[in-house]
Structure 1
Amino acid sequence: MWGTTAAAVRRLCAAGDVRSALAMLARGTKAGDAVLDVTACTALVNGCCKSGDVAEARRVFDEMPLLGLAPNEVTYTALMHGYFTNGQREEGFSLFEEMRRGGVEPNLYTYNCLIGEWCRTGEFERARSLFDEMPVRGIVRNVVSYNTFIAGLCRHGKLWDAAKLLDMMRMEGTRPSIITFNLLVDGYGKAGKMSNALHFFNQMKAAGFQPSAVTYNMLIAGFCRARDMIRANRALSDMKERGLEPTKVTYTILIDSFARENHMDKAFEILEGMEKAGLEVDARTYGVLVRALCMEGNMKDARKLFQSMGEKGVEASSVIYDMMIYGYGREGSSYKALKLIMEMRQKGLVPNSASYGLTIRVLCKDDKCQEAEALLDDMVRAGLQTMVQALESDSIRDKGLEIDSVHDKGLEVKSAPDPTGHSGTR
């Protein structure tokens, strides 16, 4: 029946079954009885992009004229968004030019998509040009248009410009959303400007919005960055009074902050509260505590916590292993560090070059050059092309380690990264 294929394709795409929709299109095209419309093809293009197969989306797009169909502004925008999401900026902007040459007028969503991409890379003059072009072409900017621009400005630290856009938004009669205020609270909080963050937090409430758990998490994180734990706790109390339960993110923010301030008793107290609340404590949260204990040289408690992770069924990440190795290396426990490296390799994890380098250096100091050379060989097998600072240290040369044999295997000697600079636990 006429239109059956189109309806079926749309239905499959709506259900997320893009593969079946493509197979149906292929069968229909081969049999010569494929009956599609622009909406069905657009659904296919969008579905392929969402699944990450932008090349297939382009193939469907290019086949449309062969089926007697012309892509419309929705089709173009779907593919454009797919290109941008996939990191193919040049193809995305080229498609926009192709769209204009073909006489297809961009719609609101096209502009929002383009503005978002320019903002993502901090090219705000280009974003503003499109933003200002919208009303000239008769397109009314919506809350998403403003939020997209504000998000980009906040991400790049242009907070004054972001706040001015909120004023402009109100003047045009576009009502801000809770997302608008959250963006500004978060932006100012990350910049350490908590008086401004509180200003927009209060504006949010004055506008009739109830702050969400996400809002409070942003506010608490801002106070923690400013090392104002009194106000962070006050925000937490306010959150609870409003009937909002702290989330895993809330607890992790506080644990991280107290741990970085070396208030480990308080950090563990919050961890206990998190467990009592029935929230899952994941590797990221444990990593925050392990890092703090290792940095202060408390390897006894770090080891206990590390072991408790396994007992609770939480797999330690490579970041946590690297921090433990760093801690043992700092205290000179070469065999403990080596044992963890071996454990990592058995699990299919690869230590970072700093972990290898520090362990090698400590092994050499302990006259365990055979083990150190074995680690160098393991680095080569692991495919690491960057050596650590330990290879250039006097301790290796003095102990007679055969570095030349490592060079022969193509390993490049460079400076080690700072183990403490590992950002994975945040």
Structure 2
Amino acid sequence: MAATTAVAVRRLSAAGEVRSALALLARGAKAGDTTLDVAACTALVHGYCRSGDVAEAQRVFDVMPRLGLTPNEVTFTALIHGYFIHGRREKGLALFEKMRIGGIEPNLYTYNILVGEWCRTGEFERARLLFEEMPAKGITRNVVSYNTLIAGLCRYRKMKDATQLLELMRREGIRPSVVTFNLLVDGYGKAGKMSNALHFSNQMRMAGYQPSAVTYNALIAGFCRARDMIRANRAFSDMKERGLAPTKVTYTILIDAFARENDMDKAFEMFAGMEKAGLEVDVRTYGVLVHALCMEGNMKDARKLFQSIGEKGLQVGNVIYDMLIYGYGREGSSYKAMKLIMEMRKKGFVPNSASYGLTIRILCNDGKCSEAEALIDDMVRAGVQTSESVRQVLLNAKARQGSPTDDFFT
């Protein structure tokens, strides 16, 4: 393959045009080209992994030896990473073992992705063994190496270990990045230790970095989790004063927190601010508000908000329907709950067993046994498990009405 062809394969692979790159590579191989390029094949493996076709990436990898090419550490790493990000962990780990058995030394990127994978599953001893092996193998750890392990430790609330790693990082002469500090702020916030979270946001400033929207979102989320809405508001105001525009995440965190605190005025104030800022309001945010309104029994506003979701062109799923059914069930509006179930079914959704059960119970309480029986039949058709308690409610209601029950459910 001429050098220009190898360059073309790499360029096409990088652009995501992997099929064209493969065709070009195949033509070169068929022509018996003696200058086939490992880098071009590696780029093609990487391109297929990025596109999600790991099987095709493996096929390119397997054909390389037949073309007189030996996959190198970059090729192995590209395919290992592809297996990991597409949920085929065992394949990735097996390939790593094959790499080592074949005498191919992992590079910095290989180590970083392996450490990240062990961290993802909480297997920190394995992650640390690889992390500590790096200097012994002549691999200089970088900020990504440290951030990868710190991220895993924070995710599993091992904050003391994460902080110690930061100190080791500094002793090794590696400057922490904004990401490093954000990981610690977020980790301590999720662990409920807001004084530590604030400490590391201050450390960030001392290191010469300005807190980002990610930093403020982590602080606001931490204060909300601690139900300290005064300080959450203060952080929100400080964020805006520093010229940082609140993000969709910022508003969603606050809307959710105010709704949980039953402060619907503030929740809707944040909702209005989000719309005014031109940020996309997704179904999850609407769901938070609908749920809060249903819980406080304000079904009129809940229904109005529900209708506005469709007007915005958003697709309403099972969860919000089930919330409304629950709300109508709580207030005893059996027909409104039943109407929503029928609406769901027409749209191809299946209500959960709680929605069916609650609606059937209130229909029975209202003496509407035929409607309740029809819902049980629909429940069975939908493949939702009917409980003995729901059946007994209907049997009891029919008995009160003097209806025959001998042949029921036979």
Partner of 1:347: 347
Give the Cα separation in 1 of the matches to 2:368 and 2:41.
66
Asked whether the equivalents of residues 153 and 162 of structure 2 are also in contact (C-alpha less than 8 Å), the reply is yes
Q: Do residues 141 (structure 1) and 141 (structure 2) align?
A: yes
1:404 aligns with 2:403: no
Aligned-partner Cα distance in 2 for 1:92–1:312: 43
Deviation at 1:388?
5.2
> Cα distance 1:379–1:85, how it changes in 2: closer, same or farther (>3 A)?
farther
What is the aligned partner in structure 2 of residue 213 from structure 1? 213
Deviation at 1:60, TM superposition (A): 0.9
Structure 1's unaligned 5+ residue stretches are: 406-426
Aligned identity (percent) is: 76
Output the CA distance in 2 between the equivalents of 1:181 and 1:390: 53
Provide the residue aligned with 1:122 in structure 2. Answer: 122
Whole-Å separation in 1 of the counterparts to 2:167 and 2:203: 12
Change (3 A) 1:346 1:70: same
The CA distance in 2 between the partners of 1:51 and 1:244, in whole Å, is 34
Q: CA 1:134 to 1:331, structure 2 compared with 1: closer, same or farther past 3 Å?
A: same
Q: Output the CA distance in 2 between the equivalents of 1:382 and 1:28.
A: 56
Q: Secondary structure at the match of 1:209?
A: coil
CA displacement at 1:404 relative to structure 2: 3.5
Q: CA deviation at 1:35?
A: 6.0
What SS is found at the alignment partner of 1:399? Answer: helix
**Cα separation, partners in 2 of 1:389 and 1:89, compared to 1, 3 Å:** farther
Structure 1 residues 2 and 195: CA distance shift in structure 2, 3 A? same
Match of 2:298 in 1: 298
Match of 2:401 in 1: none
Following superposition, which runs of at least 4 residues in structure 1 exceed 4 angstroms of deviation?
26-35, 400-403
Q: Which residue does 1:261 correspond to in 2? A: 261
How far the C-alpha of 1:312 sits from its partner, in A, is 3.0
Letter in 2 for 1:391: V
8 Å CA contact 2:223, 2:231 repeated in 1:
yes
Deviation for aligned residue 1:349:
2.5
Tell whether the 8 Å contact from 2:338 to 2:359 is kept in structure 1 after alignment: yes
Counterpart amino acid of 1:397? Answer: L
Map of 1:259-408 to 2, 5 A cutoff? Answer: 259-384=259-384, 386-387=385-386, 391=390, 394-399=392-397, 404=409
Alignment-derived partner of residue 186 in structure 1? 186
Pairing 1:56-75 to 2, within 5 Å after superposition: 56-75=56-75
Q: Cα distance, 1:166 vs. partner?
A: 0.4
Match of 1:348, SS?
coil
1:37-116 matches, within 5 Å, as: 37-116=37-116
Cα deviation digits, residues 42-97 of structure 1 (max 9, x gap): 11111111122111111111111011111110111111111111222221111111
Q: For structure 1, which segment, 331-340 or 27-36, has the greater mean C-alpha deviation from structure 2 after superposition?
A: 27-36
State the partner residue of 1:239: 239
Which residue of the partner structure matches residue 164 of structure 1? 164
Change (3 A) 1:359 1:7: same
Q: 1:335 to 1:390 in 2, by over 3 A?
A: farther
- Measured after TM superposition, the shift of residue 8 of structure 1 is 2.2
Q: Which residue of 2 aligns with 1:415?
A: none
CA contact (8 A) 2:29 2:36 kept: no
Counterparts of 2:146 and 2:90, CA distance in 1: 24
1:199 aligns to what?
199
Cα 1:377–1:30 shift into 2, 3 Å: farther
The aligned counterpart of 2:173 is 173
CA gap of 1:346–1:92, structure 2 versus 1, over 3 A, is same
Instruction: Report how far residue 139 of structure 1 moved.
Output: 0.5
What's the offset of the Cα at 1:29?
Answer: 4.5
- Over 3 Å counting, the alpha-carbon distance change for 1:273 and 1:346 in structure 2 is same
Higher mean displacement: 351-360 or 161-170: 351-360
| Separation (CA, whole Å) in 2 of partners of 1:225 and 1:260 | 10
Partner of 1:417: none
Cα distance in 1 for residues equivalent to 2:379 and 2:56: 39
- CA apart distance, 1:31: 5.7
Partner Cα distance (1:222, 1:14) in 2: 40
Structure 1 residue 286: Cα displacement: 1.0
- Please give the alpha-carbon distance, in whole angstroms, between the structure 1 residues aligned to 2:44 and 2:383: 40
CA contact (8 A) 1:5 1:36 kept: no
Cα RMSD between the aligned structures?
A: 2.0
State the distance in 1 between where 2:308 and 2:271 align: 13
Structure having greater relative contact order (Cα 8 Å, sep ≥ 6): 1
Q: What is the CA–CA distance in structure 1 between the aligned matches of 2:10 and 2:264, rounded to whole Å?
A: 56
Give the Å deviation of 1:375: 3.0
SS at match of 1:281: coil
Change (3 A) 1:169 1:389: farther
Shift of 1:346: 2.4
Give how far 1:126 is off.
Answer: 0.7
How many angstroms apart in 2 are the aligned matches of 1:3 and 1:150?
A: 42
Give the TM-score of the pair, scaled to structure 1: 0.89
What is the deviation of 1:143? Answer: 0.5
SS in 2 for 1:321: helix
Shift of 1:314: 3.0
CA gap of 1:403–1:154, structure 2 versus 1, over 3 A, is farther
